[in-house]
Structure 1
Amino acid sequence: MEFLAYLTEGNVANFLLLLLRFAGIIAFFPFFENQLITNFIKGVFIFWLTILFIPLVGIIPPANMTIVEFIVAGLSEIMLGFLASMALQIVFGMISFGGEIISFAMGLTIANAYDPVTGAQKPIVGQLLTLLALLIMLGLDYHHLFLYFVSESIKEIPLGSFIYSHNYIQYIIQSFSHLFLIGLTMSFPIIALILLSDIIFGMIMKAHPQFNLLAIGFPVKISIAFSILVVIIPAVIIHFKREFLKAFDALSILFQ
């Protein structure tokens, strides 16, 4: 019954705008856009969060808002979720790009598997690193940071009045330029050792033409790559933590 007190004539539009804000965030934020989560569950979750956070909006007197103004306000709420998710998605793109390079170097490009997170085909190593990144993200209390971001956005950005910041767009462009650099840096140790193994196998084939590269060289390259991958995974995790927390801190630019 206490919730009904907020459903006044002036708060109906704010309730719908808050619903759209949560819809934009859930639709684009990492983990929540998981294809394994059905649309029904997402819809119930969005509606429940809207009821939970509507007291932060408070009771607002009626405002004259036309249909066109309401549509523009609703699009701005969805844009807020989309722009906020880009910084976090780029961090996952770094992990995915590095995994694809590693898979290509190992010769496992054809061995793709269904990725339950995105619903697309991905190389096995890239999918492994992405799932590991999701576990690390949840270990960093991502679900709590998500709720904190929404509560701060309600306090700092009035419903329907979001305008993107040029500073944030500049940050996204810089982060996207670092995506390839960081992904290549994470995969460089494996690429270097596989390149060295190719040189050694080439010298062996010159000395012994009967050497069967496909029967011996291919499994050896995969074994070397997996051994190095096990060694560098702690460094990848530490780097992912730093980049993920940096990206979440950058979301505060949206409030400026």
Structure 2
Amino acid sequence: MELLNSLTDGNVGYFLLLLLRFGGIFAFFPFFDSQLVPISVRAALTFFVSVLFFPLIPHVSFDFTPDQFVIAGAMEIMLGFVASLALQIVFGAIAFAGDSISFSMGFTIASAYDPLSGSQKPIVGQGIALLAVVIALSANFHHFILLFVSHTFLSLPLGEFVLSRDIVAYMTKAFANMFLIGFAMAFPILGLILLSDIIFGMIMKTHPQFNLLAIGFPVKIAIALVVIILVIPAIMVRFKDELNLAFLALKKLF
């Protein structure tokens, strides 16, 4: 009832901008943009959270013209898209690590339906990506998103977001480091698989009767699975550290 009484002409405009800001957040941020969360659930969550956060926004005189309001709404959606890139890059790095491991193990053909992306992905990479999502949620990833939005109310009032040069520079650098971070996560496994390939190559040179298809591939897969079990905690720790760094960068940039 209090919300309905406060919805004056100016407050309606600010509520719509707040709705667009949360809409951009829940449309593009990792996990919320996956096939696991239906669009109807995202829309309901956007409206519900907007109602909860509406009393927290600073209410000043609404002086937007219709043209300015349309531009401000588009920039609110862009805020969610740009902010999500920093986190999508971290999830992209661990996805790159998982795909690299799957390729080196020879599991590229062994694909299954990925509920996150809605496409076919290698089994090992899919398992690592799903584990990363679970680790992120267990580390209150969704709470940090709401804290980030509440932080933007003070630094970026509704309708005043502008894409700055610092944001573009950070995103460019983070995207360039995505492959480096992913390779660093997968390096222990890739290194041992490469070492096993070298050993099998030396065995085939000295013993031509050695059947690589019958013996070499199963042994290589077994070695890789054992190393994954041993190394996966370190990979998840690195993933959490990169995720925390991404949130700190968002707090400084926005």
| Alignment partner, residue 54 of structure 1 | 54
| Compared CA separation, residues 6 and 254, structure 1 to 2 (3 A) | farther
| Alignment partner, residue 40 of structure 1 | 40
| Alignment partner, residue 26 of structure 1 | 26
| Alignment partner, residue 235 of structure 2 | 236
| Alignment partner, residue 108 of structure 1 | 107
CA distance in 1, matches of 2:164, 2:130: 32
| Compared CA separation, residues 62 and 239, structure 1 to 2 (3 A) | closer
CA distance in 1, matches of 2:19, 2:97: 36
Q: How far has the Cα of 1:214 moved from its partner? A: 0.8
Q: How far has the Cα of 1:142 moved from its partner? A: 1.2
Residue correspondence of structure 1 range 2-151 to structure 2 within 5 A = 2-63=2-63, 65-151=64-150
CA distance in 2, matches of 1:226, 1:213: 18
| Alignment partner, residue 217 of structure 1 | 216
Q: Which runs of 5+ in 2 are unaligned?
A: none
CA distance in 2, matches of 1:73, 1:103: 44
Q: How far has the Cα of 1:59 moved from its partner? A: 4.1
| Alignment partner, residue 189 of structure 2 | 190
Letter in 2 for 1:40: S
CA distance in 1, matches of 2:240, 2:40: 31
Letter in 1 for 2:42: K
Where has structure 1 moved over 6 Å in runs of 4 or more?
A: none
Q: Say if 2:185 and 2:238, in contact at 8 Å, map to a contact too.
A: no
CA distance in 1, matches of 2:211, 2:60: 77
SS at match of 2:161: coil
Q: Which runs of 5+ in 1 are unaligned?
A: none
SS at match of 2:53: helix
CA distance in 1, matches of 2:205, 2:249: 54
- Could you give the per-residue CA deviations for residues 112-144 of structure 1, whole angstroms, max 9, x where no partner exists? 221111112222121111111111111211121
Q: How far has the Cα of 1:159 moved from its partner? A: 0.8
CA distance in 2, matches of 1:115, 1:30: 15
Q: How far has the Cα of 1:213 moved from its partner? A: 1.0
User: What is the root-mean-square deviation in Å for CA atoms of aligned residues?
Assistant: 1.3
**Number of equivalent positions:** 254
